[in-house]
Every structure is written in structure tokens, then in C-alpha cells.
Amino acid sequence: MNFVKIKDLKVKYPESENYSLQIDELEIDEGETVLVTGKSGSGKSTFANVINGVIPKLLEADVKGKIEIFSQDISPLSVHDISLLVGTLLQDPDSQILNYFVRDEIAFPLENLAFPKEEIMKRVQEASEWVGITHLLDRETFTLSGGEKQRVVLASILAIDPKGLILDEPTSSLDSKGTKDVLERIKGLRKGKSVILVEHKVSKVIDFVDRILVIEQGKIIYNLKPSDALKMSEELEKLGIETPTKLPKVEKRKGEKTLYLSVEVKTKKGKKLVDVETYLNAGEITAIMGINGSGKSTLLKAISGLLSKDLLFEGKITIGNKDLTRVNLKERGKYIAYLPQDVDLLFIKRSVEDEIRYSMKLRGIKDEKLLEDLLTKFSLLGVRKNDPFLISVGQKRRTAIASILASGVKVILLDEPTTGQDWYHRKILGEDLKKLDNHVIVVVTHDPRFAYLFADRVLVLYEGKIVLDGTPDEVLPLAVKYGVVTKEEVENELPVD
Ligand SMILES: Nc1ncnc2c1ncn2[C@@H]1O[C@H](COP(=O)(O)OP(=O)(O)OP(=O)(O)O)[C@@H](O)[C@H]1O
Ligand SMILES: Nc1ncnc2c1ncn2[C@@H]1O[C@H](COP(=O)(O)OP(=O)(O)OP(=O)(O)O)[C@@H](O)[C@H]1O
């Protein structure tokens, strides 16, 4: 039997001129694990969401053609019915979390399916153990870190135990060790399960997938066996796809002490989430790394004044002679910009270009040339008139970064800007950040390749404290101990002696 069978499929979003997806014929067998990859904006999420029915049932689009899942035509089925055949992990876990407590989040779909109470408890426990979140079961979902949320959603899908799974970048917010664990588990799932895995980390999954589909401009341009994909790494690199290669040696810069931080963040119950004192330098890119939940986002939020109200801040933040510790958000915003993990929170305008113009206006400039430069630099020319809420996740993130660059602040804090980005766009981001040589640039990242190539300094956080601080060459080999990079990555990808 087929897991998925597609015939003459065409998907067009409202107001868009071109088809975002066009597939004449595709069959995926039951039991197959298929990797779907391609550049940002190529159509991977559209592919995933048209198979699970989200398009057009929840997200409007013109869909022609026929899709069958396990031999059932999905057009008359509801999204809920389809989800019992094929469970989906969406790219953005926030959009999938509905419940106040983690345990309820995992139990909720099972309750809807009227499973007996004991069976629900058993499945919640098993799925939580499986993705490593038993310690979070009694937590409120809104207090979880990005990586913790992603695992909770994965557990809630696995608890239903559908025959088919669509996993849209299941490891995008996970640390290196977490990525390895979850991919190992997905590999272990294979028997009897049919899986569509959308993933940029091709090299980490190539040895257990059965097939690789490469999407480019809405079309499947390669349908390959993994062994054949390995032979064409040059072609794939050109398509922005990461293939395993040893990185070159890179010179690092030493910037000037600019932003002084002494930051302590506690919960009301007195649990310390962050305890950091350091200088951050202008003219350098500082990467902050650390396992999921180590305090990275909390630190950035504390610096930018965006800490959640249920957390307590103590300490001091100064830029040169300017003390920013107690100033209001608006004043702080003149110096410091924070790019959150969920960039939707930032958008207020109805088009990509207006969003960037608005940032310039806030600092009192009008510069159409800068706008054109930013649109070009961040590959946004094609979507400049589009609504920032209705573009691909990668395009959204690039719009947000372009807006921040347009706003002219001196300190730029980026919370996992490389998440869900293909290697091509990650490199562009790194190169662009490098050009800003009088800014304090801080990048929270789970991506050791990005940190190695582009960061001048790496800080590793563990339980809220800085445990390693130095150049990437110095820090990354030692960071294996803290789970932010794996031994294999250090051995195979970094030029360390
Ligand atoms: N809701 C929408 N309305 C209009 N156009 C959209 C919408 N969602 C996506 N698009 C467009 O469809 C194309 C494919 O987007 P899709 O999200 O499938 O890409 P992707 O390969 O998953 O990208 P990424 O790796 O950045 O997540 C892009 O050009 C995007 O701008
Ligand atoms: N309001 C809160 N109340 C209680 N605990 C919280 C709150 N906010 C965050 N935490 C916890 O503090 C820890 C640090 O969270 P933070 O979001 O800073 O992690 P992170 O290092 O950015 O993780 P990730 O890589 O998963 O994004 C996590 O264990 C998180 O669950």
C-alpha cells in the first residue's frame, strides 16, 4: 500500500501569481522514511501542509489534483480525521500548543479520542520518556523554552501513535545532543511507520532515510536514493543544502568592550535561571550556546528588558556611560534590538517592504536605497509586497533581521536566527552580520557550524551560568561536555588538531 499518493497536484496561495507547489506524480510507500529538503521558501512546508490537509482546510489556498493517504482520498476528510492517519509536527511548536499544562497537552488528543484513562496515562508516560521530557510534565506550557516546547509537541503526536508522521523540522530548536537523540528515536521508529521528514540537517539523517526529495521552486527536482545524493554533494551545495564537509580555518576578531552585563534572573519561587557577569564587545559576533533550557533566551530577554513579569531581575546593564538598567523599553530600544524566536511577534505592517520602511522611520530616516539593499541582500525582492505573516518561516526571519538592521541600533540580540534556515541562508546571515563591524552582535544558536565560521567568541551557558568563554576553536571542542556540540561534529567538521 502507498503511504502517500499524489497526482496532478497544484497549490497556489491567494494573491500569489505562481504555484507554490506542483507535483505531477508521487508515490511514497508504506513504511518508507522520506527526507524532504530544499532552500528556504522552496515549498517544503507547503508540501507537508497539503498532505495533512491544513492547506486548504485551515490555511486558504487553491488546491487542484488528488492526494491519497493510505489509499483514502483526503479531500472529504477533516483535518482531525487526517491527523489520525498522519500526525504532523508543525515547524512552529507555539502554534500547536493549546493547553496550560504539559501533561494535559499530551493527554488532550487522547481524551478527544475517548481512550480509557489508564491507557492515556500509560501513553503520556511512554511518549514523554521517549522524547526526554518526563521532568516537564507538571510545568505550565508557556514557561517552556523553545526546545522544550518542540519536544512536548513531538510527544503529543507520538502518543496518538498514528501510522504516518510528517515531521517539519523536528530538531530545528534542539541542541546538538537533543538533535542526535531525537533523530536516533525517529530512526528507531522506522519499523512499521511511514515518515515524511522535512530537515535541513541532511548529513545527520542521510544514513537512515530511504529516499530524498529535493524541492526547488515548488517542484520536486530530485528524487534520490541516499547513496546517489552523496555522490552529488556539489549540486546539492548549490541548492543551499548542507552536505558534510570539514570547515576551513577562520581568523577571529577582537572587539571593544561595550556592553557591561551583570544579570541575575530568578523565578518567584527563588529558582535561579540566569547568573551572568561579562562584557560584550562591539566589532565581534558573540555566539551564546547551551543545551535547551540553559537560560539563553532568558538572558537575552533580561538584557532587552522583555523578561516575563513572573520573573525577577537583579543586576546592572550599561553601554559606555549610559546606564540602561532601569530605563523604560522605548529608551532601551534605541540602543538594543531583540529578535525573538517567534518573529511573528514583531510584525506590524502589511508588507515586507513597509515593515523595513517602518523601522527606518522610527529612527527618522527615509532611505529607499538602503531598503533595496536590504531586500536584495536578504533575498526578499520576490516577496517585498507580501504580507509578512504569509511567507515562509525563513523569509519571515530574514524580514525581521532586515528590519532590525534598518532601525540603526547598536546592540543586536538574535535568538536562534538560524533555526529552520538552509545552509545557504545561514551563510548569508553570518556574512552580513560580519559586515556590521561596530555593532555588538549576539547570536543564540544551536548550530556549531554557524558558530565556528562566524562567531568571534563563544559563550557556553549551563544552568544559567557561563561555563566556557573563548574563541570557537578554544570553546567548541570542550563544549562536547555540555551537550552543545557532538564529538562527531568536532571530529568530522571542525579543523581542530
Ligand atoms: N500563507 C501563505 N500565503 C501566501 N504565500 C505563502 C504562504 N505560505 C507560504 N507562501 C509562499 O510559498 C512559497 C513556499 O513556502 P514554504 O513555506 O512551503 O517554503 P519552505 O520550503 O517550507 O521554506 P522554509 O525552509 O523557509 O520554511 C514561498 O514563496 C512562500 O512565500
Ligand atoms: N516564567 C518561567 N517560569 C519558570 N521557569 C521558566 C520561565 N521561563 C523560563 N523558564 C525555564 O528557564 C529555563 C531557561 O529557559 P530559556 O528559554 O532561557 O532556555 P534556552 O536556553 O533559551 O532554551 P532553548 O534552547 O530550548 O530555547 C528553562 O528550563 C525554562 O523552562
Ligand with smallest separation from the Cα of 340: 2
* CB of 43 closer than 6 angstroms to any ligand 1 atom: yes
- pLDDT of amino acid 299: 97
At residue 419, the pLDDT reads 80
User: Which residue's C-alpha comes closest to atom 29 of ligand 2?
Assistant: 293
pLDDT at site 200: 85
How far is Cα 378 from Cα 372, in angstroms, rounded to an integer?
A: 10
Span from the CA of 36 to the centroid of ligand 2 (angstroms): 30
* pLDDT reading at 217 higher than 90: yes
Looking at residue 175, what is its pLDDT?
A: 86
pLDDT digits (tens, 9 = 90+) for 299-328: 999 999 999 999 999 999 999 889 999 999
Q: How far apart are CA 406 and CA 365, in angstroms?
A: 9
Q: How many angstroms separate the alpha carbon of residue 143 from the centre of ligand 2? A: 7
For 29-79, write each residue's pLDDT tens digit. Answer: 999 999 999 988 899 999 999 999 999 999 999 999 999 999 999 999 999
Mutate to test the pocket of ligand 2, among 143, 152, 306, 413 (most ligand atoms within 8 A of CB): 143
Which residue's CA is the closest to the ligand 2 atom numbered 7? 143
Q: How far is the CA of 48 from the centre of ligand 1 (A)?
A: 11
All three cell numbers of 298, joined, read 532568558
Read off φ and ψ for residue 214, nearest 5 degrees: -105, 120
Distance 143 CA to ligand 1 centre (A): 29
Closest by CA to 162, choosing from 350, 349, 3, 339, is 3
pLDDT for position 238: 79
Q: Is the whole model's pTM more than 0.80, yes or no? A: yes
The confidence score (pLDDT) of residue 79 equals 92
Query: What distance in angstroms lies between residue 20's CA and the mean position of ligand 1's atoms?
Result: 7
Considering only residues 265 and 145, tell me which one the structure prediction assigns the higher pLDDT.
265
Give, using CA atoms, the residue closest to atom 4 of ligand 2: 143
Q: Supply the pLDDT for residue 93.
A: 82
List residues near ligand 2 (CB under 6 A): 143-148, 173, 267, 273, 290, 292-298, 308, 310-311
Is residue 363 over pLDDT 80?
Answer: no
Instruction: Annotate 72-86 with three-state secondary structure.
Output: EECCCCCHHHHHHHE
Which ligand 2 atom sits nearest the alpha carbon of residue 295?
18
Residue range 134-156: average pLDDT?
92
pLDDT score at 408: 80
Nearest alpha carbon to residue 442 among 274, 295, 303, 293: 303
The pLDDT tens digits for 89-115 are 987 888 889 999 999 999 998 998 899
Cα 454 to averaged position of ligand 2 atoms, centre (Å)? 25
Position 47 scores a pLDDT of: 97
Whether the CB of 394 sits within 6 Å of ligand 1: yes
Kindly report the protein residue whose alpha carbon is nearest to atom 18 of ligand 1: 43
Q: Whose CA is nearest to atom 27 of ligand 2?
A: 146
Report pLDDT for 244.
67
Q: Which ligand is nearest to the CA of 215?
A: 1
Q: Where are the alpha helices (DSSP H) in 21-66?
A: 44-51, 54-57
pLDDT at 188 over 90: no
Ligand closest in space to the Cα of 290: 2
Ligand 2 atom nearest the C-alpha of 145 is 17
**What does the DSSP 8-state code read for residue 385?**
T
pLDDT at 102: 96
Whether residue 221 is predicted with pLDDT greater than 70 in this model: the reply is yes
CA angle (54 as vertex; 51, 57 as ends), nearest 5 = 115
Report the C-alpha gap between 463 and 466 in whole angstroms. 9
Give the pLDDT score at 234. Answer: 81
Is the pLDDT confidence value at 242 over 80?
no
420 lines ligand 1 (CB under 6 A): yes
pLDDT value of position 125: 95
Closest to 248 measured CA to CA, from 466, 15, 35, 452: 452
**How far is the C-alpha of 163 from the C-alpha of 422, rounded, in Å?**
29
Closest residue (by CA) to atom 25 of ligand 2? 292
Look over the chain and give the mean of its residue pLDDT values, rounded to a whole number.
91
Instruction: Indicate whether residue 417 lines ligand 1 (CB < 6 A).
Output: no
Task: Write down the pLDDT at residue 190.
Answer: 64
Q: How far is CA 80 from CA 85, 89, 341, in A?
A: 9, 14, 28
Work out whether strand 322-323 and strand 465-470 pair parallel, antiparallel, or are unpaired: unpaired
What is the distance in A from the centroid of ligand 2 to the CA of 475? 23
Highest mean pLDDT among 146-150, 223-227, 237-241, 276-280: 276-280
Give the closest residue (by CA) to ligand 1 atom 29: 41
Q: How far does the centroid of ligand 2 lie from the alpha carbon of residue 108, in Å?
A: 23
